[in-house]
Structure 1
Amino acid sequence: MRPHPTTPLLDLLRSRRLLAIVRGSDPDAALRAIEVLAEEGVTMMEVSLSGADALTVVRKAAAALGTGAGGPGVHLGAGTVLTARDATAARDAGATFIVTPGLGAGVTEAIRLGLPVLAGALTPTEVIAAVEQGAAAVKLFPASAGGVPYLRALRDPFPAVPFVPVGGVGLDSVQEYLEAGAIAVGLGSPLLGDAANGGDLSELRRRVRTALDLVGPR
């Protein structure tokens, strides 16, 4: 395969190494969780469209945090983007990158719109397809299906592909994935806990500090 092209999203993932995934049943709590993440130094976040009123959360968070692609500050993306309509709505709400669980119309439309994509893939065939479609990086999902050994096995035929494991990655496995060659990790409930549902923000702060220590200097 040809070498993977460098993009602003790829550079960010490599330098920040942590993508926080926010999915909540309470839009106001999700927004408060995003603000806490930013206060504690998390600069890459994904708001899953499967959460309650997620586009409003993206819109309010983008306005509050002054997000932008490729520059300083917080970079806010939309996740669980499945359709072309999802991609357009996420862009209009202020998302600066797109995350998908697999390959489909959401990937195609996001790339057409000029949005960088972290595209979900699991099998070698899907990895090849994600790269050919122009994904900035490949979201290995669900990472728990094969764990760290599977990531190592995939990197043998795809040494130039930037992988970001998501799904089943816990605080106790962050370093293992990074040592196995992941450029970053995506953390959802192991990082957020119940904060995006109205839960404990002090515990969220504690977990964020642990996670940032694990991924190392940014």
Structure 2
Amino acid sequence: MTPDQFLEGLSGSRLVAIVRGTDGQAAAEAALAVMEEGFRYVEVALTTPDALAAITRIRDSAPESCFVGAGTVLTAQDVHDVVAAGGLFIVTPALAESIEVGASLGLPVLAGAMTPSEAHAAMTRGATAVKLFPASFGGPAYLKALRDPFPRIPFVAVGGVGLNEAPAFWEAGAIAVGPGGPLIGDAASGGDLDALRERARAFLALAARHGEGKQS
């Protein structure tokens, strides 16, 4: 998957699931559950115990046209570990050396940034898109203000984005949103997968309605 393919696919799906928990096996099960419901892009945070093993399991078992990546990727070693585990994209929480390293390997990179300077720097370093994080800090109005001077930067809103908040971020120009806690809940720590699937269907239905509205 090239960065351009990642960007096109993410723009179409409008969603990337963020899996972070206390158990790698449970995280893998949660990721596969949301993929089975229709999420195409899922990141597993490296702060999750046994995250690399979880990524490998997800990569081996993911439905066709579904892609697993890693989040909280900070160092060059992190990038190489993720590639070895089978991760197909990386996500950072901030400006880190992993951006340049990932880009040099041809990986799609979703780079964390908050300020205009950080967003510009992320793209200069080779990011495929900017993860506005934490998006809840400034809200949709802040995203809209960022996009005024940077209309060509693809932004993904992450951090405190639930079902009630997602539509406003899409309307403000985010190509996608990244639900974490509002989607995954406690499923990545051994919680209820049936409830997770129900939440996943709600997010997917919301994204589909938003897409229909844009086309009409």
Q: TM-score if structure 2 supplies the norm length?
A: 0.93
Query: Percent identical across equivalent pairs?
Result: 52
Between the two proteins, the alignment pairs up a number of residues equal to: 208
For 1:159, what is the secondary structure of its paired residue?
coil
Residue number among 151, 158, 175 corresponding to 2:150 in the alignment:
158
Aligned counterparts of 1:21 and 1:172: Cα–Cα separation in 2: 17
Aligned counterparts of 1:26 and 1:214: Cα–Cα separation in 2: 29
How many angstroms does 1:131 deviate by?
A: 1.2
Residue number among 72, 97, 102 corresponding to 1:80 in the alignment:
72
How many angstroms does 1:123 deviate by?
A: 0.5
CA deviations on 1:123-149 (whole Å, 9 max, x unpaired) are 110111111112111000111111111
CA RMSD across the alignment: 1.3
Please name the residue that 2:25 is paired with: 28
How do 1:3-152 residues align onto structure 2 when only pairs under 5 Å count? 7-65=4-62, 73-152=65-144
Aligned counterparts of 1:215 and 1:38: Cα–Cα separation in 2: 15
Aligned counterparts of 1:144 and 1:173: Cα–Cα separation in 2: 9
How many angstroms does 1:22 deviate by?
A: 0.6
Aligned counterparts of 1:113 and 1:92: Cα–Cα separation in 2: 12
Aligned counterparts of 2:44 and 2:90: Cα–Cα separation in 1: 10
Higher helix share: 2
Structure 2 counterpart of 1:37, which letter?
V
Aligned counterparts of 2:30 and 2:16: Cα–Cα separation in 1: 14
Aligned counterparts of 1:212 and 1:171: Cα–Cα separation in 2: 10
Structure 1 counterpart of 2:10, which letter?
L
Q: Which runs of 5+ in 1 are unaligned?
A: 1-5, 67-71
Structure 1 counterpart of 2:193, which letter?
L
4+ residue stretches of structure 1 with deviation over 4 A? Answer: none
Aligned counterparts of 1:30 and 1:128: Cα–Cα separation in 2: 33
Please name the residue that 1:3 is paired with: none
Aligned counterparts of 2:119 and 2:30: Cα–Cα separation in 1: 32
Aligned counterparts of 2:14 and 2:65: Cα–Cα separation in 1: 15
Structure 2 counterpart of 1:153, which letter?
A
For 1:154, what is the secondary structure of its paired residue?
helix
